[in-house]
Amino acid sequence: MALSPLNQRRWRNFRRNGRAFWSLIIFCILFGASLFAEFIANDKPILVQYRGEYFVPIFKFYPETAFGGDFKTEAIYRDPEVQCLIATGGLEECFDEPEAFIADAQDGKIGGEEIEKGWAIWPIIPYSYDTSVDRPGAAPLPPGEGNLLGTDDTKRDVLARVIYGFRLSILFTLIVTVLASVIGVIAGAVQGYFGGWVDLIFQRVIEIWGATPQLYVIIIMFAVLGRSFWLLVFITVLFGWTALVGVVRAEFLRARNLEYVRAAKALGVGNATIMFRHMLPNAMVATLTMLPFIVTGTIALLASLDFLGFGLPSSAPSLGELTLQAKQNLQAPWLAFTAFTAFAVMLSLLVFIFEGVRDAFDPRKTFS
């Protein structure tokens, strides 16, 4: 679908802002890669070929018996015995000396006899966010072979957790920002457009709601319902929608008496059409000005809750939890460096992007 002439001008203005445009490209690359985190960092192969059949372990459960093993539980693909069974087509000798048979199976023959050679395609990082690394030494382990950013205090690969944590933080932020913005814009538009008692009642409700201690509500609800991603999204939206109300309300109060609004009312145009088709576009600049603060505030809120232990479950790949580990393990500077770099890159890119969007929607620049 082609863009309207107005949106085409806005897009050109955005592209002229080199910092915002390149930040968008870098962000899309990083976020796009994180959406496929299972293909980048995983303790399961992407694709397995065994006795002429193909298996996709990252999407489907396969018991060890599917590869000639003894157990009906899910195959542990990092286990040398399972790797040997896949490579040799299920030879029973794999239970004795798996490493030796894996090396011999590279030629497709063992003991002079041909075997049904299998193979597995592994992700670049052979660890998921919750995989314990099999390396000697006390955790946290420093960066080394197989772990570019080291491990945390439970020997989980830091790079894998950063990739999954980046995706989790961005998805959480985008969902909360969209939902909170929609609710806040509607509430502010209704207040500003109708004014009077509607505005007065809404303002009193918002003042009371804004005084509610969010942290205590989160603690109570998590204690009753348990910690989960969607519950945290719900609570954050429940308290975050008021951020845009004041800005949108002020813009609608200013615009409600302008000529084009009076003309629309005189022609019998409905209130909803006037508010969201005619008045809202003129209030978008002020609304977009607040978005960088909402986005960065949401990321900081998630990180703070995880840092305090009131956020997502401890097993979740959270950047806030990584920051907590950095505080608790000062002898492991790679944890603090990784957490700081991840937050700095993520927040900087988002702020630059939304600054560019704000400038692109500014009428003084759009029509200049």
Yes or no: say if 154 and 139 are a contact pair by the CB < 8 Å rule: yes
For residue 92, pLDDT beyond 80: no
Give the whole-angstrom CA distance, residue 166 versus residue 153.
Answer: 19
First to last CA, the chain: 26
Give the whole-angstrom CA distance, residue 57 versus residue 63.
Answer: 10
What is the DSSP secondary structure assignment for residue 242, as one 8-state letter? G
What pLDDT does 24 receive?
A: 93
What pLDDT does 112 receive?
A: 61
Cis? peptide before 143, omega within 30° of 0: no
Structure tokens at 219: 């603690």
> Average pLDDT of 342-355?
91
Q: Which has more pLDDT, 31 or 136?
A: 31
> Average pLDDT of 305-333?
87
Give the pairing type, strands 47-50 and 119-121.
antiparallel
Q: Which has more pLDDT, 87 or 100?
A: 87
Give the whole-angstrom CA distance, residue 75 versus residue 64.
Answer: 4
Question: pLDDT for 190-205, tens place per residue?
Answer: 998 888 888 899 899 9
Structure tokens at 288: 């977009």
> Average pLDDT of 324-329?
90
For residue 107, pLDDT beyond 70: no
What pLDDT does 26 receive?
A: 95
What pLDDT does 108 receive?
A: 66
For residue 261, give the H/E element and its range: helix 259-266
For residue 1, pLDDT beyond 60: no
Under the banding of pLDDT at 50, 70 and 90, the label for residue 146 is confident
What pLDDT does 38 receive?
A: 92
Q: To the nearest whole percent, how much of the chain has pLDDT over 90? A: 27
What is the DSSP secondary structure assignment for residue 244, as one 8-state letter? T
Phi first, then psi: give them for residue 149, nearest 5 degrees: -115, 15
Under the banding of pLDDT at 50, 70 and 90, the label for residue 95 is confident
The answer for residues whose C-beta is within 8 angstroms of residue 110's C-beta and 6 or more apart is 88, 91, 93, 101, 104
Q: Which has more pLDDT, 56 or 112?
A: 56
Compute the chain's Rg from CA coordinates: 27
What pLDDT does 368 receive?
A: 55
> Average pLDDT of 289-312?
86
- Mean pLDDT in the chain? 86
Give the whole-angstrom CA distance, residue 294 versus residue 180.
Answer: 9
Question: pLDDT for 6-53, tens place per residue?
Answer: 778 888 888 888 899 999 999 999 999 999 999 999 989 999 988 888
DSSP track, 56-115: -TTTS--BGGGGT-S-SSBP-TTSHHHHHHHHHTS-GGGGT-HHHHHHHGGGTEETTEE-
Maximum distance among all Cα pairs of the chain, rounded to whole angstroms: 94
> Average pLDDT of 253-279?
86
What pLDDT does 366 receive?
A: 55
For residue 364, pLDDT beyond 70: no
CATH of domain 5-37+158-365: 1.10.3720.10
Annotated domain spans of the chain? 5-37+158-365, 47-121
The answer for residues whose C-beta is within 8 angstroms of residue 256's C-beta and 6 or more apart is 192, 193, 195, 279
- pTM for the model stands at 0.86
Under the banding of pLDDT at 50, 70 and 90, the label for residue 314 is confident
Yes or no: say if 146 and 204 are a contact pair by the CB < 8 Å rule: no
Residue whose C-alpha is closest to residue 286's, from 189, 183, 362: 362
